[in-house]
Amino acid sequence: MRRLFGFILLLFITGVFAFSQKSGGMWIPTELNEKEMKELGLQISVSDIFNTTRPSIKDAIVQFGGGCTGEVISPRGLVLTNHHCGYGEIQSHSSVDNDLLTNGFWAKNNKEELPNPDLSVTFVTEIHNVTQAVFANTANLSGAETQKVIEKNIEELKKDFPKKSYQHIVVKPMYADNQYYAFVSETYRDIRLVGAPPQSIGKFGSDTDNWVWPRHTGDFALFRIYANKNNEPADYSEDNVPFIPKHYLPISVKELKEGDFTFIFGYPGRTSEYLPSIAIEQIINDLNPVRIAIRDITLKTLDEKMRQDNATRIKYAAKYAGISNAWKKWQGESKGLKRSNAVAKREKYENELADKNPEIKSILADFRRLYAEQKPYAVNNALWGELSRNSETFYLAALFNRISQMQANGSLTKDKSDELKAEIRQIYKDYDKTLDAKVTAKIISYYIAQLPKQFLPLDYAKYTDENRNLSLFEKWNKKSMVTNNYNDLDKIFADTQKLANSIKKDPFVIFYNNLLEAYNANVNEKYRGIQEQINGLQKSYMALQMATDKEKVFFPDANFTLRVSYGQVHGSKPADGVEYSYQTTLDGVVEKYIPDDYEFDVPQKLLDIYHKQDFVPYTNAQGKVPVAFTATNHTTGGNSGSPALDAQGNLIGLNFDRQWEGTMSDIYFDPELCRNIMVDARYILFIIDKFADADWLLDELTIVK
Ligand code: ARG
Ligand code: GLU
């Protein structure tokens, strides 16, 4: 009897522990994998997560500013997101004298909240699978014709969809264009900054700790949605009032344990989970290395001056963070793909599929041929993208070039001019032409060195040496209109013909055009042609995978639409001899503290609180303040600011990053290595309460004990 009991107990224990998720997934909220979610610990129903007939959790989730996620956490429209998602706004309210990045910002009442003209948040109210309507009348059409009919069908569908005046419809392809979904959404445009910790909390560890676990960053900021008197979206106005949400998230300060269920609700941007192995190989061996190299050069050049000069540091802060972010991710991605043997494992899976379905065999052969043919063009394409992004001078040259082209073909309307002017002003605001000349001089010589000569402009040999480039660009800088940061753009735009004439003579524009022409003629067309064929293949391959592998539950790749990922709180063993626990605490902040360091300084007030041990009630079972934790949720860029919710739908954390060893999850999710990183909700409350003394904000929140 005792033996039998022991045996059953053993079964029970292994049964409980053995059930961990098999793979990742970013699920459309109307098609959740409820069975697995429940097995992993979800206690509410999926209809509490997404519902169109009564308030549900989705009514608290917003796409924040286009690239991030945020969530409503109070009945007065208070929105929580990451510090790094509000970074541009915090920076834009900062100057050397009033440096909100360094000092933080806490409005003391609604009046002190700061408006942000370019910021908006979007709620989704409905999701519909509209595949049939989108594919109507496309049977037996050729590829190009099909595309035209699809576009027409989408336009009609959008027109006919019942909606309120302030709603809009977005139709997005899923499963590599095999299905289409319509999202009804509402965008609020008056969003104000309410609070942000100093970056020594909100960006603690900065680029050194970015993508890294163990982590100690309080990466959060608070905003508020304002609406008109009818609670509808409106342009900024002093008369607007705090928005009243259908639902807001209660915040839990309960103990968090290894294995606890959690889910993430937000807007993952891009993943490629269904690529053939040959594509993964190319990313590791050919594309990531050149992208990383260009950014290496750019970052080193910027860093030198940012460290010497405070004004440059502020000007380039957001740009630097952006460039370094993907730079570091790609390095982790390549490493993780290698470590988890992603290519070999994917090949094995391909062979199994091909054995079951001969059609897949021939598709895989086509993939191999096309990727090989595309490789040199793909490398150039990656480099070109980096060149145009990292050189602000080229970015400006491209913009001005557009102006002169539009003038020539008569499309430079007054509105267009205003738009372009605004865009140029935005760049000039944080632009240092001497510094950028250095970046440009270096990366152009790298670009030339990497490419087959027949891809380059005829006179490429003049630009191979970075020092020579720099003295040339400095000379050009003296007369160029593109880099000359005109305060009076209105004046130069007054006569657009004259403007277009001077643009055509600008040395940077001429240089940029030569490069662009060579790229277009020798690379771009070829690259795109092959890419179109690859996309077509990927569509068939996706459909065939779904038809052939009956055991797997498929989710569509991320595409900036609303998704749910789920998993459990877990640490990890990312390398031989290394074991990470799932949680960090304030102790670690103090351990990492380096006085006056630009990344690891800690505000004196936080140190004082730490030494007084004034922590209650924001402690874990050991009496420490938890700062961050990891779980097995499958997330990607765009999920920043997404709420981490518990089995009951309470907010327990704020997603802001992934663990470096697992950043390959965009391509290959490995539950052993991939972890998302969240700020613990208790740390957020602790900072608002003890550090910022912002009681008026705490009073708005619902805390679950
Ligand atoms: N790695 C995070 C994400 O992908 C945080 C980025 C912001 N922080 C930074 N140091 N650049 O967006
Ligand atoms: N930091 C990322 C973002 O801005 C989220 C982390 C990730 O890529 O997983 O969206």
- pLDDT tens digits along 330-384: 999 999 999 999 999 999 999 999 999 999 999 999 999 999 999 999 999 999 9
In sequence order, what are the residues at sequence separation of 6 or more whose Cβ sits closer than 8 angstroms to the Cβ of residue 269? Answer: 67, 558, 559, 560, 636, 637, 638, 639
Contact at 8 Å (CB) between 291 and 330?
A: yes
Closest ligand, as measured to the CA of 654: 2
The reply to whether 321 and 470 lie within a common domain is yes
* Ligand 1, atom 2, residue with closest C-alpha: 657
In a domain, 426, yes or no: yes
Question: Which of 188, 214, 237 finishes a domain?
Answer: 188
The reply to whether 699 and 585 lie within a common domain is yes
The reply to whether 529 and 442 lie within a common domain is yes
Q: Number of folded domains in the chain?
A: 3
The reply to whether 537 and 493 lie within a common domain is yes
* Ligand 1, atom 6, residue with closest C-alpha: 325
In a domain, 13, yes or no: no
pTM exceeding the 0.85 threshold for the entire prediction: yes
Task: Based on the residue annotation, tell me whether 608 is a catalytic residue of this protein.
Answer: no
Closest ligand, as measured to the CA of 199: 1
Q: Which mutation among 82, 640, 667 tests ligand 2's pocket best, with the greatest number of atoms within 8 A of CB?
A: 640
Ligand 1 atom at minimum distance from 324 CA:
11
Place of tokens 């040959």: 278
- C-alpha of residue 100 to centroid of ligand 1, in Å: 19
- C-alpha of residue 219 to centroid of ligand 1, in Å: 10
Structure tokens at 436: 């950028």
**The pLDDT value given to residue 20:** 65
The reply to whether 534 and 654 lie within a common domain is no
**The pLDDT value given to residue 214:** 98
Q: Is the CB of 267 under 6 A from ligand 2?
A: no
The reply to whether 396 and 324 lie within a common domain is yes
**The pLDDT value given to residue 161:** 87
**The pLDDT value given to residue 150:** 96
The reply to whether 253 and 302 lie within a common domain is no
Ligand 2 atom at minimum distance from 635 CA:
9
Beta-strand relationship, 563-568 and 78-81: unpaired
The reply to whether 501 and 405 lie within a common domain is yes
Q: What is the CATH number of the domain that holds 66?
A: 2.40.10.120
In a domain, 18, yes or no: no
Question: Which of 490, 524, 547 finishes a domain?
Answer: 547
In a domain, 12, yes or no: no
- C-alpha of residue 373 to centroid of ligand 1, in Å: 34
- Active-site choice (209, 219, 260, 432): 219
Contact at 8 Å (CB) between 445 and 466?
A: yes
Task: Show the beta-strand stretches assigned E in 261-309.
Answer: 261-266
The reply to whether 261 and 296 lie within a common domain is no
The reply to whether 246 and 284 lie within a common domain is no
The reply to whether 395 and 266 lie within a common domain is no
Q: Is the CB of 640 under 6 A from ligand 2?
A: yes
In a domain, 126, yes or no: yes
* Residues spanned by the domain of 131: 122-188
Peptide bond into 617 cis (omega under 30): yes
Contact at 8 Å (CB) between 393 and 440?
A: yes
Contact at 8 Å (CB) between 191 and 119?
A: yes
Contact at 8 Å (CB) between 669 and 634?
A: yes
Question: Which of 500, 519, 547 finishes a domain?
Answer: 547
- C-alpha of residue 158 to centroid of ligand 1, in Å: 35
Measured at the alpha carbon of residue 655, what is the angle toward residues 651 and 658, in degrees to the nearest 5? 150
Contact at 8 Å (CB) between 405 and 397?
A: no
Residues with CB under 6 A from ligand 1: 84, 206-207, 210-211, 321, 324-325, 637, 640, 657
Structure tokens at 420: 């372009």
**The pLDDT value given to residue 18:** 38
Ligand 1 atom at minimum distance from 325 CA:
11
In a domain, 325, yes or no: yes
* Ligand 1, atom 12, residue with closest C-alpha: 637
pLDDT in tens, 293-311: 999 999 999 999 999 998 9
Q: Which mutation among 208, 640, 677 tests ligand 1's pocket best, with the greatest number of atoms within 8 A of CB?
A: 640
In a domain, 461, yes or no: yes
Task: Based on the residue annotation, tell me whether 432 is a catalytic residue of this protein.
Answer: no
- Active-site choice (640, 657, 665, 670): 640
DSSP state of 662: G
The reply to whether 103 and 131 lie within a common domain is no
Low-confidence ranges of the chain (pLDDT < 50): 1-19
Task: Based on the residue annotation, tell me whether 219 is a catalytic residue of this protein.
Answer: yes
- Active-site choice (84, 216, 570, 634): 84
In a domain, 2, yes or no: no
* Ligand 2, atom 9, residue with closest C-alpha: 636
